[in-house]
Structures are given as structure tokens and as C-alpha cells.
Structure 1
Amino acid sequence: MKIGIALGSGAARGLAHIGLLKAFEDSKIKPYAITGSSMGALIGGIYASGYPIDKIEEFYLQLDLSVFKRFVDIKVSSAGLIGGEKLEELIASTIKQRNIEELDVKFKCVATDLLTGLEIVFDKGDLVKAIRASISFPAVFVPVYYEKMFLVDGGIKNPVPVNILPEECDIKFAINVGPSVIKEQLVQKYYLDNSFKKYKDTNSLMEKFQSFINGYFKNFVLDDSIKYPSMLETIVQAIAILQENAYINKLKEAKGNVIEVFPDLSNFKLTDFTKAKEIINIGYLEGIKIIKEYLS
């Protein structure tokens, strides 16, 4: 059976992809193809090159401020806070094959052209450059200049790129670790005042913005004391919520037997990299569930 896996964007919640791939490997199941966006591109690309999933897990379990500083080059730039050169060096040190077309597993990842808004699909060429482009979150990473394009995070246009998995896949799994996972929990009981309403997911940007604001009251307003989200949390969460329509549209384009997978990550924020162990474990349990339900 040819198995395709689309690993979605989701920042720290994307660490669940490590656990899911580990569950597959423990069960001697090798994906035929992997596509990825943002964190999904990073983990999926390194794994597709043949780097052991245990080593990927080990790195993130050891991730702390001292490790972070070693691989992040802070820049005083209007284009972004992090240059990305050190991260490229780290990625290059882990992969076995530099070119996408030479990988052990068929692989594609996506980025977004900042100038045109177009989705850019990497299916050949430099794997490191492709991953670096796909993870370039706006205002955090300096965009990647590539073939006269300024490339940023692929999750903006295609958060779970299941539609670009090869058509010959017998079954395709769309692993969504993004905002749809927490959609129902965003606004339940914490409101600024009685004028706020619970909005359903629609195409209205205003309603999405309202839902976003309400969601923060759920996360940060307790006993009438307010803890405001950081600037990074605000940017990350705002973009993540706006990705929901993009996911729905891309899902409609996917052909074949597509299975949506939503690991329960509602207790984790997009910036919770220090909770790698818990997030990876959730991904592992989800992987075992997938295997039992669809691949046994």
C-alpha cells in the first residue's frame, strides 16, 4: 500500500509529527510520500532524507535557550528578527541527500511568495533551501530570496498540503495540528463583556477577527485579571486562525482516499516548544490510532 502523509503547519504543535512518524516506524510502516508546510516541512523533509526519527526527537527534547541561541542568528533588520543562516547550517548537517528528487521518500513542501501571494511548491532541487523557505514565518525570519521571489511560510497559503501528495497514493493522511484543532474551545466561557458572541467559522474576516479576540479571553482572562499575549503569540495565532479557510479549500482539491487527522492539542499554544515531550507523545498515540484503524 502506498501511504501519503501531509504534515501541517502549527509551530510547536507541529512537534506531534515527530511522534506520529515514530509510531509508523515502530510498526515497520514506511510512507511512500510526505508533503509538508512550515514545521511539517522541517520535520518531514529531514525525515524523508533518511535522518533517524529518534535523533529528531532527541534534538527537540533537549531544546532550551542555550541550544536555541546556537542555531539562531538574531538580526536587526526590518525584514525579520532571525537571519536563518545558522538554521540552514543545522538542517544541512542532518540531511543525507541534498536534492529533493534523491530522497528516500517522495517529498514536496510549500512556501508563499510574499510579492504575488502565490503558493510555491518545491518538488526538486535544494532541500535545505526549500525547508528554509517553508518555515520562514513573517516578521520572525528574514524571507528567502529565490528566483526573484521573496518566500515566506508555506502555511499561509497551504497549511496542510494534502492536495499535492502523489495521485498514486492508495491512502492520504492530512495531519492538521493547526487552529481547527482548538476551534470549538476558543470561545466558551471567557468574554470581555456580554456584547461578545460566539462566531462560527465563515469567510468573513471580521468574524474571524472577532473569534480570534474572544479566543484570547479564553486563554488569558481569568478571575478578571488580564495577561496579554506576547507580540509573537499574537502574530502566530492570528495567522494560524486565518489559515483555516486555506486548509478547507486545499482539502477540496485533494483527490483519492483522504483521511483527516486532528491530534488533540487544544491544551498547547503554538509557542509551546518547551513542552516537546507531551506534544510528541500525543502525536505518537495518534499514529498508533491511525495504524490500528486504517493500516492493520
Structure 2
Amino acid sequence: FAAGLSIDEITAFALLLHKKSSLRGGLWDFQFPPRSGLIKGDRTVNFIKQFLGDKRIEDLPVPFHVVATDVLSGEEVVFSNGPLVEAIRASMSVIGVFAPAKVGPRYLIDGGAVNPVPTSVLAENGADVIFASSVIPSLEDRLQRKALRQEGRAPNLMGILLGSMELMESEIIRTRMNPANLVIRPAVEIYSASDFQRAREFIRLGEEAAYRALDQIKQLVAPQRLERMN
């Protein structure tokens, strides 16, 4: 969205990602032995570039910040300029799934390792009103998911790795998430982050959550519009 893509283009990206995420889809370049991650990530970068090209963060029509984590120092790394796809590659490096991205002297992984819902980054960059969207389940949500999921079905490796990341992120959110004016939480509690085949359903659930919050959004945005007009 910040890069200027329409809602239809973003939807097409999500649905194509689902299609290519199967083993036959050609999106995953697995490493054997897996060294620092199961997936090297070059094919995924090329796929994202089909939609975003060689855009730079500082040239985007909407201000944008990407959060990653230095895997060696544990520092939060915020990209506010530079190649967009490079920043996205760093930020999507889920521990154990994707190999860390090397950017300059740093090896970077998913920003969720230190700041899963980075409202603090927006506040530090001057945002007056902050809307957050969180799909990270709480412990209670995970217990509900376990109860509703098919008994006896063991999670696959991808599900285990992503589930482990979810556990860590939910604890970080509980203890240190900066307050937002509004947090939108789509009803995805019973699903896993590896359920790529449910892309269309996730889009619908996100739309429903946003519509439920629409009155609150309008109330929060209205004073800002009046202030700019004056």
C-alpha cells in the first residue's frame, strides 16, 4: 500500500503467494543442509520484485518504516530509506525458516523478534494517531486453536517454527507493546501463520475487522483532518 499498489493489486499478490507457496510452486529455494535457515530466500525476493520493482523507501508515496533484528547483537534495526525489497527481505527472515539477510555488516532477521507490533517506531517518527493491526495470538487464543483443530494431526516443520515465533511475539506484545490509539485484531485465532492456502479467507477476516472498527477510525481521524484544514 505504501508503495502505491491498489487494493486489487495487493489482493492479487496475496493470492499468487498462496499459489506459489506449495512445494511445486517454485517459491521456496530450500537449502541442504539448512545451515542458518531452511530457505535461502532468493526466489522469494525475485517474486516480490515482480510487484515492487526497484523502489526505494524514501521515494514511496506513503511514509514507510521496516523493522528487522540484528541476530548477533539483538538490536532493533529500522529501515526508513534504501532499497525497499532489501528491507522486506530482512524483515521476513523468520528464525529457522529463512536464512538471515546480510545487509552491510549485519545479519538481520524478522523484526518480530524484538518488536512484533512496532507502534513505537511510528511514535518516534511523529505519528499523531496510530492504528495497529495484530494477528499474533495470545496464549488463550492458542489454546482455543488447539481445541478446535483436528485431533491427532501433528504440525509440520514450518508450522512448528512459525508457532514458536508466535509464542515469543505474543509474550513480547504482552510485556512491552507501546499503546496505539486503536488495535485491530482480525479473528484468525484458530489458524496458523503457515496456512497460506487460506489467503482469501484471511483477506475477508481482515476486511470484517476493519469494518467493525470503522466508526472508531473515523472518530480518531476527524480531529486531525479539522486541524489540517485550520
* TM-score after normalising by structure 1: 0.66
For 1:73 and 1:187, how far apart are their aligned partners in 2? 33
Deviations 1:65-116 (A, max 9, x none): 5776333322223122221112212222212662111101000011111111
1:72 is aligned to 2:28? yes
Correspondence for 2:201 among 278, 287, 293: 278
1:108 is aligned to 2:65? yes
Aligned to 1:131: 88
Aligned to 1:230: 156
1:143 is aligned to 2:100? yes
The more displaced of 109-118 and 78-87 is: 78-87
For 1:289 and 1:221, how far apart are their aligned partners in 2? 30
Deviation at 1:247, TM superposition (A): 1.9
8 Å contact from structure 1 (residues 97, 103) kept in 2: no
8 Å contact from structure 1 (residues 49, 96) kept in 2: no
Deviation at 1:237, TM superposition (A): 1.0
Deviations 1:240-290 (A, max 9, x none): 1121232244423x5xx6212222111211211101111100101112222
- Which protein has greater RCO, CA pairs closer than 8 Å, 6+ apart? 1
Aligned to 2:6: 52
Change (3 A) 1:220 1:93: closer
Correspondence for 1:169 among 107, 114, 127: 127
> Secondary structure of 2:81's match?
coil
Change (3 A) 1:290 1:170: farther
For 1:232 and 1:75, how far apart are their aligned partners in 2? 14
> Secondary structure of 1:140's match?
strand
Change (3 A) 1:70 1:88: same
For 1:97 and 1:73, how far apart are their aligned partners in 2? 22
> Secondary structure of 2:182's match?
strand
Change (3 A) 1:80 1:187: closer
Unaligned runs of 5+ in 2: 220-230
Deviations 1:141-168 (A, max 9, x none): 1111112111111111111111111554
Percent identical among aligned pairs is 30
For 2:2 and 2:192, how far apart are their aligned partners in 1? 27
> Secondary structure of 1:107's match?
coil
Alignment length (residue pairs): 215
For 1:185 and 1:178, how far apart are their aligned partners in 2? 9
